[in-house]
Structure 1
């Protein structure tokens, strides 16, 4: 049974209710931010979540605080599955394929969060680029060790690779209908193969 505005499920613990409220606010913020517009207003968020203004301010100081939380959550959700990728697959092509499949599956699973992160210039997006730079440098070093590449990476190449991956991901997540995960991962894998070798 749906709980009406300003009410809550009294059978749930206070900790559970607060966690649910925060998740609902973050989801609504991500959905509004993913539409490539300015930050949402508190009024829009409380209308969308059917919560009171006081509930919003129990969790966040202001809209900027909510936007930061959405971006940090997106960064974590997108980068956490990528942390140990370079050590799992035995070949350069396998590592590129594994990155592409993991990245795209994660991006599709957290579409609104990822679009909120990629849609605007923000500190979390810069941290994403640093993380991707390090990951791509590892992929390149592994390819050199395996004899699939001879030249070391350059900062310009790593930046171009990050921008290309971000751009392709954003394009694929905005396309209607959304590309099939295998097709999206394959396109990303082809891009990586061309740019990494």
Structure 2
């Protein structure tokens, strides 16, 4: 087994400890294990020529996420932003520990960490790819649940913000997703909203 495969399996093993469960392919599995595998599947679909570092960063995007609960931060916008920033640091740290155990050098570990944190994603094509993949996974697998819990106007606003963070390549890929009518309609409204304000 090569070290990339070993690293991905160790990331999956870490995410297998998630006490939260979701349905995936008819099976009840740990939520972040499902998320990581969905990220890799989307990466293969949208960025099939991805580097080793990008493949790892996609799989590790939410590694051990449940260990830093949103509820431990103030429930306001600054609290949310601090939670997201701290999460990014922890995800990079935990991924780095796995990569070191697999024999990766400091340069590759540092690069993966930057991608996990999506640093400078507007100027770094690989960090932008991670942002695209995460946005596409949200649309494909989580937007329906989000839409069911929020008013249609909020859903459109969130999808408009999601589109705003995506590259043209990512937006094209979003158009090819098999979405429910509700999410497809909200996405089309978000596209129209973005076009009207650009």
TM-score (norm 2): 0.31
TM-score (norm 1): 0.31
- Over alpha carbons, which structure has the higher Rg? 1
Relative contact order (alpha carbons < 8 A, sep ≥ 6): 1 or 2 greater?
1
Normalized per residue, the structure richer in strand is: 2
